[in-house]
Amino acid sequence: MESFFKTAQTVPLNHYILLSAIIFSIGVIGVLIRRNAIVIFMSIELMLNSVNLLLTAFSVYRGDATGQVFVFFIMALAAAEVAVGLAIIVMIYRNTNSIDINVLNRLKW
């Protein structure tokens, strides 16, 4: 078990930043190219998770537990956000019979 955890010790911090940046960019691209509201929501989750991973990596790198506590709070926030967001999506679907976000370009009415 101890040797298993040694594997992460040789990974440079830059590579964690790179991985998180790539996943975050994929999330951004997902928000931009999809019109399905649920898939857009999932892309946002992807971005949140990449930031979580980076916070954890920095926390281990600095030997400071604060980063992992932040990740815990981000997870609680994500749970709340998903509950409210999905409720809004369900309500939009009930009113417009679609979850295409282009239907929502008439918010002034």
Partner 1 sequence: MSIFYFIAFLSILFAVLVISAKNPVHSILYLVLTFFTFTIQYILLNAQFLAIVNFIVYMGAILVLFLYTLMLINLNKDSEPVKTNLVKIAAVLGGGCLLVVVVAALKVIGASDPVLFRDPNLGLVKNLGKVLFNEFLLPFEVSSLLLLSAMVGAVLLATKDPKTA
Identify the residue among 3, 21, 51, 104 touching partner 1 (CB under 8 A).
Answer: 21
36 phi/psi in degrees, rounded to 5: -75, 125
Is 76 a binder of partner 1 (CB under 8 A)? Answer: yes
Interface of this chain with partner 1, residues 26 to 55, rule: CB under 8 A: 26-30, 32-36, 38-39, 41-43, 45-46, 49, 52-53
d(CA 107, CA 105): 6
Identify the residue among 22, 44, 51, 108 touching partner 1 (CB under 8 A).
Answer: 22
CB 65 within 8 A of CB 59: yes
How many CA atoms lie less than 13 Å away from 59 in the CB half-sphere? 14
CB of 21 to partner 1, least distance (A): 4
